[in-house]
Amino acid sequence: MYDAIIVGGGPAGLTAAIYLLRACKKVLVIEKEAFGGQILKSSNVMNYPGFSSIKGLELGNLFYEQAKGMGMESLYGEVTSITKEKDFFLVNVSSQEYKSKTLIYAAGLHPRKLSFASFDRFIGSGVSFCATCDGAFFKDKTVCVVGGGNTAVDDALYLSNICEKVYLIHRREEFRAEPIHIQKLKEKKNVIVLQNTVVTDILGEQKIEKVVLQKEDEKEEIFVDGVFVAIGSIPNTSILKDFVPLNSNGYILTNLFLQTSVPGFFAVGDVREKKVRQLTTAVSDGTIAAIEVQNYLDET
């Protein structure tokens, strides 16, 4: 029986683990991909206090090593169901059940896809959702990045240092990215920005050869070797739809103390309904939830 099971090993989940371990609680963190979360995919983090600049991979590993060194138990696997019996939770992973007095859900998001028939066929064969993971495969080649937020612009900047040419394709006129990122992008001579433009198809046999673009009533084909997609994400909450209340977009509803309507069940990080989703807000969520878990355990 654990004091807390944390589903998701990103910054929010690992911060919660660190606080609970400091309080001498027995903690299990379950992660299905990589401990450290989406921050591992960031080429350079410059908005986390204490580090003027640090690679996302390095920072994510520091979170994990700190928690592990404090006695955190960890498990790789996908949670397939969560139920509650009396005063404890049952978490199912690969047909194994784990029991806990409380549960912190920090499972994060997964990337949104482009909506045309050929897209899925090229995932892993030229289509990528992570520039820092796969950018090296496209050294001295031509790629396109789809999106208009901070992630898309950051991806284009990162790839501009590796690739011969980078197209940044955004369906709107205005970018959602921060002005400082846009300014850096304008200084890159090998980046071509295409606004009010939509990718409607990917062409190729064994590998990507072209993408089809549409701007108003005009269509155009451009030669590219890879497509990097950064158009937002979907919360990983499908297993919770009949367990805790979700909003219309699938995000978990919590109060100010990150409690859900199920006693002992807390939600933190990108997976919950909130306005700002940043590394620092994820860490804040983890802190608050861990303290509230301690209060809950003391009261029950």
At 167-225, the pLDDT tens digits run 999 999 999 898 988 999 989 999 999 999 999 999 999 899 999 999 988 999 999 99
d(CA 194, CA 190): 13
Q: Which of 197, 229, 261 is the C-terminal boundary of a domain?
A: 229
Task: Supply the range of the domain harboring residue 102.
Answer: 2-110+233-299
Task: Write the DSSP symbol of residue 162.
Answer: T
Residue 33 and residue 49 share a domain: yes
The span from the CA of 36 to the CA of 38, in Å, is 7
Domain boundary, last residue among 205, 229, 253: 229
Catalytically annotated residue among 3, 24, 120, 133: 133
Which residues is 265 bridged to in the sheet? 103
Does 130 qualify as catalytic in the annotation? yes
Structure tokens at 295: 């209060």
Contacts of 51 (CB under 8 A, 6+ apart): 45, 59
Position of tokens 């090296």? 136
**One domain for residues 67 and 148:** no
**Which one is catalytic: 3, 134, 154, 155?**
134
Which strands sit side by side in the sheet containing 165-169, from one edge to the other?
Answer: 127-128, 226-229, 142-146, 165-169, 191-194
pLDDT of 105 reads: 98
Residue with tokens 């979700």, as numbered in its chain: 246
This prediction's pTM:
0.79
Active site residue 24: no
